[in-house]
Structure 1
Amino acid sequence: MEPMDIHSWSQPELVRVRHLELDLDVRFDRKILEGSVTLHFDPTTEPQLVLDTRDLEIHSVENAAGFELGARDPILGSPLRIRLSPGAGWVRVRYSTTPAATGLQWLDPPQTAGKRYPFLYSQSQAIHARSWIPLQDSPGVRITFEGRVRVPSGLHAVMAAERAGEHFRMQHPVPSYLIALAAGDLEFRPLGERSGVFAEPALLDAAAREFADTEAMMRAVEEMYGPYRWGRYDLLVLPPSFPFGGMENPCLTFATPTILAGDKSLVSLVAHELAHSWSGNLVTNATWSDFWLNEGFTVYLERRIIEKVYGPAREQMEASLGRRELDREMASLPEADRVLHLNLEARDPDDGCTLVPYEKGALLLRTIEREVGRERFDAFLRSYFDHFAFQSITTADFLDYLRRELPTAIPLEDWIFKPGVPPDAADPHSGAFALVEAAATRWRQGHAIETGHWTTQEWLHFLRVQENPEMARLDRDFHFSQTGNSEILHQWLLMSVRAQYEPAYPALEHFLCTVGRRKFLKPIYTELMKTSEGRERARRIYRHARAGYHHIAQATIDALTA
């Protein structure tokens, strides 16, 4: 029988887990979780339940006739085959994680903002939940869960679920990659009736200021696409080693501190993770080849939220930057990776996390909107979220629904299954960028320019249109090497590596040693590896920085610097 999901050992078509009960102790001294998970399923006469695991120590299985841990696959981990008693409806697995768990990062006090207490956070997407919970680790399997988490005195645990002290409960069925846990020196600040932010005390004030518009974003998306169905929407600011910008864990978005720019110019990330409450968490890709259904829809919704809260000019700039970044990245990808429905046979699903599912997927939806009109497309999206609510679907499911509910002449097969962006794509345009380009020309001619009102997006465009950039003059006039804005600094450091601008090298080394966001790391290390001097510098910095990176970032940079 063909597996439902090529990235899971489990066979949910035979026995499907419906509910999990987690009972865990957080052991910072050993950098492990230990405890149990009770898995509930419909009573069955099937002979076995198969779970996904990776590098777990399985101590016992209760209410079962026996168990066997299979051979380890480098991508999938090991199947845990549990022999079931006739009519069984639950089993309890007692287990512990190992310090090598790919879905957990354990940080020592010096790696945190406060420098006093250790910190733990999980990152389960795509198939890392199996490294800290034995379960059916497939986005096509949705479960409810509850958990009890015990931490050392003085620290606090949070999960992506409703909270009641040390007990947590998720009453809506979610895929395994959305189960999330963090523990550390955390405090909470409300942002509105339904929202708030958790952070280390040193970051809490800045985070609360930066995320002040969260409730306005929630109202904006509800007006367009229906009610928020998850109760609360809180955010957790993680230490800088977090490998992504954000993670859309329901009820509790995990966010990188690199978006705390001080001027709300990078909060499109909050809009993105909030949008996942509809596209991704409510309606989920059934396999990782369908990942664009999560991310393309979410980028489209993110931009609509930005337009509604901050105005069309801001949305146009972000969409234009997104299209240009997509074109740059797609030029470096093999043809097979420039399609929306990606073939991931014998590949880690993390390989599919390029800009293609995000930006090309959003361009497809933008193109459909252009053809049918915004009013009709918004009505379609609202009905889509209602129709598939709390379900995991495939690309074929989406296409069937679209063709039935909103017929279109757009060549959908070309968009989804062929490489590149079709020529009929709706091309975003920003009038503000034309003004930035004119200012860049005046500056190159030696004139002073007014930049006091510029946003992050305008600064990024200003840097990217520089031809043969005068690095020393740019740094002298605009102090890019000292900027506290992570997006602008990343662009500047990338240019500094290309231009071999040595005065920026101290900032480069500090950035690579203190920021773990893969979006920033991969381009800089890639650029460094293009020259012999750069390769030596990259490897030297990485030897020092690697321990502070998450496993996902380590795997990427290991391959680049080998």
Structure 2
Amino acid sequence: MTISYSRCALGLSLLCGAVLLPAAAAQAPADPAVAHQAAAKTSISQNSDALTFANYLEVSVTHIALDLALDFAHQQIAGDAILSLDWHKPGHTLVLDSRGLNVSQISALDGDGHWSKASYHMGPNHPVMGEPLIIDFAATDVSRVKITYQASSTASGLQWLTPAQTQGKQAPFMFSQNQAIHARSWIPLQDTPAVRSTYEAKISAPEGINVVMSADRRKLSSTQTQFSMPQAIPAYLIAIAAGHLQFKAFDATSGVWAEPEILAQAHEEFEDTPAMIKVAAKRYGDYRWGRYDLLILPPSFPFGGMENPRLSFITPTVIAGDKSLVSLIAHELAHSWSGNLVTNASWRDLWLNEGFTTYVENRIMEDLYGRKRALMEQAIGYGELLAELPQLDDGDSVLHLDIGRRDPDDAFSSVPYVKGQLFLLFLEHKFGRERFDAFVKGYFNHFAFQSIDTASFRAYLKTHLLEAYPGIVGDAQVDDWIEGQGLPAFMTPPHSEAFTSVDEQRRAWLDGKLDAGQLQTRDWVVHQWLRFINEMPRLDLSHDKLAELDKAFDFSHTGNKEIAFSWYSLALDNQYYEVLPPLDAYLTQIGRRRLVVPLYQSLAESKQRAWAKAVYLKARAGYHPLTQSGLDRLFDIR
């Protein structure tokens, strides 16, 4: 998932015609259920996830079969979920995660093949985790459980949009966002990354609505679609979307889904996707998921992207018209190895997903677009991290984050992304690229289709790098990176020569030696513009100076959402409220949390709080529930 700038905007967060592996060549395990059980047992011996009610140490779900109907009129999803169970010890009780689910019936299948009703009840509500669904069986050999239920119209993992809130204004739209612990709001399951399951689904939707999921897709009729995911994945990677969607292929095994109004634009912007797959597979091993498609979501999508296997969800805010933000695609694709293939076993191990992904993303960008661009993106990510670290509690600057039972959506920061990437860049520099590339590729192969914790990574690192090439990096340095606060004193910051002239011109303009119109910006790329804006003085830049910049470069009306965000942030920090009219339009057109929440926070702490609240109330219906929850608290809306 991409949240912070370094992850999504430039792929970091800036983030042809290659021939891909045919679907039949995908390296799926021969028996996904067996592969899942092996992976589950590996994680079970190592992890205890504090953010799940599930008793997965005793019994784990190996397969999920869904039969669901989408009700756009009432904004609800309802039907049956059949869970296949693998008992690790004899037992009579299954505990699942749920949040706001209305369960009407539960049946159990015993060893003799007989279905019978099972008793169940909901445990007390936890403000972060929801409610445990506790199911009691008469027998100890239950192999499947069938749950008939209805999700709430306010399910935290789903957003329902009216036609007016979509690109085309023709049909309603619905999409899920399960990470980190929102799958439980629309499916009763074991909502922990420690447990991996295969899944299948039959989804019913109204005429004219196309349904897509993170799985193989087969249209059964004009109102029913069937899906199958043969590889075992954690619950947060189950994904669904439905709306007036059309598809356009990049090649035989990749393409893009979008509303027809932006399909051609998205296809052109992201046409390098097959080339990205090709270079990533060459460096890190075969792409093992069959297809790789993109889904362009409505502007309300709260994140830059979400790495759902076979179908990455993508924000439209990275369609810039010049491919300047396509590192987001590289980031979500990189998750096909780091995150989806090798998964963090609990959310305190998030850096294993996102640190590796940010590193791999940057290597993909270097292979396709050159070392200069990759170094700029590294430097921008590092600068963003430095700006964020002083705002964090000391404990939250640790890679191996002690999240406890806090809401992950509030606890996550750029630390697991950028600090994780910097740790891997440190290892790459120390051991050399040839050795480190072999290490990373071997790591992905060794732990493929498993959920692992930080201790497992450290053991693998010790065997395959530290002890294989002794005297280069010691355990104490690894401790400093993984368990230490902030950044190690011995690290070497990323540096980009492409920013040297940018910094020189900014200083010359600030000192009055150059007018804005005299700045040599003709060949600047988006990364250089962001550097130019982000390093400007806060609090004491004169309004005349800001007006001069806006007149010369029209930042207030740029179509690049990342540049606009940096410009509005600079203006608000310096109380330059002449930007409020275009800022109103910006805040009501997009709902990506990273691009709107900081601006609202800045406004709420200023004399423009009332203005900001009025804009939010106008825009609120078009924001995702995750965005709404934080901003409701900010503006005391109940």
TM-score by length of 2: 0.86
- The reply on whether 1:50 has 2:103 as its aligned counterpart is no
Is the Cα–Cα contact under 8 Å of residues 370 and 426 in structure 1 kept in the other structure? no
Is the Cα–Cα contact under 8 Å of residues 47 and 346 in structure 2 kept in the other structure? no
Is the Cα–Cα contact under 8 Å of residues 111 and 548 in structure 1 kept in the other structure? yes
* Secondary structure, counterpart of 2:631 in structure 1: helix
* Secondary structure, counterpart of 1:116 in structure 2: coil
- The reply on whether 1:545 has 2:545 as its aligned counterpart is no
Aligned ranges for residues 226-375 of structure 1 at < 5 Å? 226-375=285-434
2:478 to 408, 412, 419: 412
Task: Report the equivalent of 2:570.
Answer: 495
* Secondary structure, counterpart of 2:588 in structure 1: helix
* Secondary structure, counterpart of 1:278 in structure 2: coil
Task: Report the equivalent of 1:60.
Answer: 105
Separation in 2, partners of 1:386, 1:25:
38
Is the Cα–Cα contact under 8 Å of residues 166 and 298 in structure 2 kept in the other structure? yes
Separation in 2, partners of 1:201, 1:284:
34
Separation in 1, partners of 2:445, 2:143:
31
1:456 to 505, 526, 529: 526
Percentage of pairs with the same residue: 47
Is the Cα–Cα contact under 8 Å of residues 45 and 88 in structure 1 kept in the other structure? no
Is the Cα–Cα contact under 8 Å of residues 39 and 91 in structure 1 kept in the other structure? yes
- The reply on whether 1:510 has 2:600 as its aligned counterpart is no
Separation in 2, partners of 1:352, 1:370:
30
- The reply on whether 1:379 has 2:438 as its aligned counterpart is yes
Separation in 2, partners of 1:405, 1:462:
42
Is the Cα–Cα contact under 8 Å of residues 61 and 92 in structure 1 kept in the other structure? yes
Task: Report the equivalent of 1:19.
Answer: 63
1:538 is displaced (CA, Å) by 2.0
The aligned amino acid for 2:194 is: G
Is the Cα–Cα contact under 8 Å of residues 47 and 453 in structure 2 kept in the other structure? no
The aligned amino acid for 2:245 is: L
1:443 is displaced (CA, Å) by 4.5
The aligned amino acid for 1:317 is: M
- The reply on whether 1:144 has 2:198 as its aligned counterpart is yes
The aligned amino acid for 2:123 is: G
Is the Cα–Cα contact under 8 Å of residues 389 and 486 in structure 2 kept in the other structure? yes
- The reply on whether 1:483 has 2:558 as its aligned counterpart is yes
- The reply on whether 1:212 has 2:286 as its aligned counterpart is no
Task: Report the equivalent of 2:72.
Answer: 28
Deviations 1:234-258 (A, max 9, x none): 0000001111000000000000000
- The reply on whether 1:110 has 2:172 as its aligned counterpart is no
Greater shift in the superposed pair: 66-75 or 498-507: 498-507
In structure 2, runs of 5+ residues without a counterpart are: 1-43, 109-116, 220-224, 467-472
**Which runs of 4 or more aligned residues in structure 1 lie more than 6 Å from their structure 2 counterparts after TM superposition?**
none
1:529 is displaced (CA, Å) by 2.2
1:546 is displaced (CA, Å) by 1.9
Separation in 2, partners of 1:149, 1:351:
32
In structure 1, runs of 5+ residues without a counterpart are: none
Separation in 2, partners of 1:3, 1:131:
23
Deviations 1:404-462 (A, max 9, x none): 11003261111111210002223111111112123334545226233233211111111
1:105 is displaced (CA, Å) by 0.2
Separation in 1, partners of 2:457, 2:562:
34
The aligned amino acid for 1:452 is: R
Separation in 1, partners of 2:301, 2:209:
19
The aligned amino acid for 2:192 is: S
Is the Cα–Cα contact under 8 Å of residues 47 and 345 in structure 2 kept in the other structure? no
Task: Report the equivalent of 1:196.
Answer: 255
The aligned amino acid for 2:410 is: D
The aligned amino acid for 1:37 is: A
* Secondary structure, counterpart of 1:406 in structure 2: helix
Task: Report the equivalent of 1:6.
Answer: 50
**Structure 1 residues 539, 119: CA separation in 2 closer, same or farther (over 3 Å shift)?**
same
Task: Report the equivalent of 1:392.
Answer: 451
Task: Report the equivalent of 2:630.
Answer: 556
* Secondary structure, counterpart of 1:212 in structure 2: coil
Deviations 1:523-554 (A, max 9, x none): 212211222x2222222222222222112112
Query: Which structure has more RCO (C-alpha within 8 Å, separation ≥ 6)?
Result: 2
Separation in 1, partners of 2:414, 2:80:
38
1:522 is displaced (CA, Å) by 2.3
Greater shift in the superposed pair: 383-392 or 439-448: 439-448
Task: Report the equivalent of 2:549.
Answer: 474
Is the Cα–Cα contact under 8 Å of residues 125 and 177 in structure 1 kept in the other structure? yes
Separation in 1, partners of 2:564, 2:442:
41
Deviations 1:296-333 (A, max 9, x none): 11000011011000001111111100000000011111
Task: Report the equivalent of 1:72.
Answer: 125
* Secondary structure, counterpart of 2:179 in structure 1: coil
Separation in 1, partners of 2:62, 2:405:
28
The aligned amino acid for 1:217 is: M
Separation in 1, partners of 2:235, 2:428:
32
Separation in 2, partners of 1:426, 1:297:
18
1:510 is displaced (CA, Å) by 1.3
Task: Report the equivalent of 2:498.
Answer: 432
Is the Cα–Cα contact under 8 Å of residues 163 and 171 in structure 2 kept in the other structure? yes
Is the Cα–Cα contact under 8 Å of residues 20 and 38 in structure 1 kept in the other structure? yes
Separation in 2, partners of 1:345, 1:466:
37
Is the Cα–Cα contact under 8 Å of residues 3 and 11 in structure 1 kept in the other structure? no
Separation in 1, partners of 2:579, 2:304:
24
- Measured on the aligned residues, the alpha-carbon RMSD in Å equals 1.5
1:345 is displaced (CA, Å) by 1.6
* Secondary structure, counterpart of 2:97 in structure 1: strand
* Secondary structure, counterpart of 1:76 in structure 2: coil
Separation in 2, partners of 1:473, 1:248:
41
Q: May I ask how many residue pairs the two structures share in their alignment?
A: 561
Separation in 2, partners of 1:416, 1:392:
18
Aligned ranges for residues 85-104 of structure 1 at < 5 Å? 85-104=139-158
Is the Cα–Cα contact under 8 Å of residues 237 and 309 in structure 2 kept in the other structure? yes
The aligned amino acid for 2:604 is: M
